[in-house]
Chains A and B, each alone.
Chain A
Amino acid sequence: MNVSHMTSHLGEWLRGSGPESDVVVSTRIRLARNLAGEPFTTRATPHQKAEVESRLREVVELLELEQPLRYVSVAAMPAIDRQFLVERQLISRELAGVLEGPRGVAFDEPETVSLMVNEEDHLRLQSMRSGLELEAAWATIDRVDDAIESRVEYAFTDEFGYLTACPTNVGTGMRASVLLHLPALGLAKQIDKAFKALQKINLVVRGLYGEGSRALGDFFQISNQITLGKSEVASLSDIRTVIHEIIKYERMARTTLMREARQNILDKVARALGTLQSATMMTSEETMELLSAVRLGVHLKLVGDLSPLTVNELFIHTQPAHLQKLMGEPLDGEARNAARATYLRNRLRTAGSSS
């Protein structure tokens, strides 16, 4: 499969719209499932993995969904293409580079559903949406899960629920994550305060690219921790409550900043935009921090002619694999930083600060 054509559009989750999209970037729900009577992936022989892959591939390709899924073998893919799918959040870093042997992913054209085969669990189903859309994401993945389950038997016991390789996922196997952009709380140094309540109700905060990743550009992922003893519906409701609280704090912080430090915010946004428009070397970390400020500017209507969709496009297109696909050649280190700066300069040539 050639992934290059995918640079011409963005996944649905990066549309930049949807409920509460001034603060919530996207919503993601994943389910962990395993086939009954088979060893989990990490203890399976290459032969067993190949069998699981061909069984699930057949099932996935027969699914009758509104958007058909296309299966691609990740094992047979060049490293840069795997990285490309990681950046689009269609596969995990583990599936891309840590795990070995037969494995793959099926996803639909709008990139709202992705099914990873032979991840840590035989099947990881994922549904992605733009904005805060927990119900819609759950409805989608619940339906896909039912459709698959009508064709294969999952490892399940009444007592422990859906059995998973790691006991932290057993039960519902569900992890719902909401990606938030909290620049005003970041500027006001109130992030920790806003997150204090999370631990008490068993929610976890992570950076943008999942487990162990640092929060760059004030992007935070909030997800449920508990999968056993709490239903999917109850978990989603807990998350929703907390997310609405945090959205409220972030909006209050934005209002306060605009009232009390309008010139400072304006200056921060203008400087970020100016740097992006003129720098000749740019790391992906710096890009993330600067685009974070620009994104805030867009939502505070301090930047005239930039849409949230364009800002999202810049975020994803400046990731290493996307950048190399766009440039049409492998680039490393300084060459990549130079190419990134060139790309940003060209894209932002006409954008200006207005106030």
Chain B
Amino acid sequence: MKCHYCQNPASVHLTKVVNKTISEVHLCEACAREKNLIPDSPNDLNVPAVLQLAFGQASAPIRPVQMESTCPVCGTPYAHFRAQGRLGCPHDYDVFRPLLEPILERVQNGSIRHVGKLPGRHRRRLTIARRVELESNLKLAIEVEDYEKAAKLRNAIRELGVEHER
């Protein structure tokens, strides 16, 4: 996948949902930095710049995700999933992700993030990674004054501690 602004490979992927329309932007790290989407510190995103992009004020046009996409691994077309309600392989969650997220939100009561058991072989690594991510999201939520979300994140962090101890 190429960067939206230049020909370099894209490494920063943003998905946004505005008025029920899903679109994606792919950028290379250099362009993302230039657009101020990622600051020099690796710890946090530039929230105002991300929000600006998400609300369509960025200068670049954004292309809609293809509803007729097909999973390159198992060959399952997205339309097949829509008709049967069953995905083709684990990779589909990645390939159809922008299309799946709103569906997950609907069937899973608004949540699109796993909380709970982790496979034994990844438990230690994933628990740490998840804690780091939750804490950074918490920081973001506080920054944009979304206190409801912040409270949820705090609960999730607390629950992670409990899970980790078992």
Contacts and interface: CB of A to CB of B under 8 A. Distances in A.
Interface of A: 34, 36-40, 42-43, 120, 142, 145-146, 149-150, 153-163, 165-168, 170-172, 174, 202, 225-234
Interface stretch (B37-45, B105-113, B142-150): B105-113
Given A43-B74, A167-B100, A226-B111, A231 B116 contact: yes
A161 B116 contact: yes
B111 A231 contact: no
Contacts of B67: none
A183 to B, nearest CB: 32
5 contacts: A40-B86, A43-B89, A145-B117, A167-B107, A230-B115
Given A161-B116, A163-B93, A232-B116, A153 B121 contact: yes
Question: Main SS of the interface on chain B?
Answer: loop
Question: Main SS of the interface on chain A?
Answer: loop
A161 B86 contact: no
Given A156-B122, A158-B114, A161-B114, A226 B76 contact: no
Interface in B16-48: none
A231 B117 contact: yes
B85 A230 contact: no
Contacts of B126: 158
- Chain B CB count within 10 A is highest, among A155, A158, A165, A229, for A229
Contacts, number: 122
B89 A229 contact: no
Interface string B67-94: 0000000101000000011111110011
A70 B116 CA distance: 30
A234 B118 CA distance: 15
A344 B118 CA distance: 49
Contacts of B90: 34, 36-38, 40, 155, 163
B108 A228 contact: yes
A137 B129 CA distance: 30
B86 A42 contact: yes
Contact of B111 (A155, A165, A229): A229
B103 interface: yes
A38 B73 CA distance: 10
A155 to B, nearest CB: 4
B114 A228 contact: yes
A231 B119 CA distance: 14
B13 interface: no
Contacts of A162: 114, 117
B139 interface: no
Contact of A166 (B86, B119, B130): B86
A202 B87 CA distance: 23
A120 B86 contact: yes
- Chain A CB count within 10 A is highest, among B90, B126, B130, for B90
B93 A43 contact: no
Contact of A142 (B114, B117, B122, B129): B117
A34 B88 CA distance: 12
Contacts of A37: 90
Contact of A146 (B76, B103, B120): B120
Nearest to B116: A231
A159 to B, nearest CB: 6
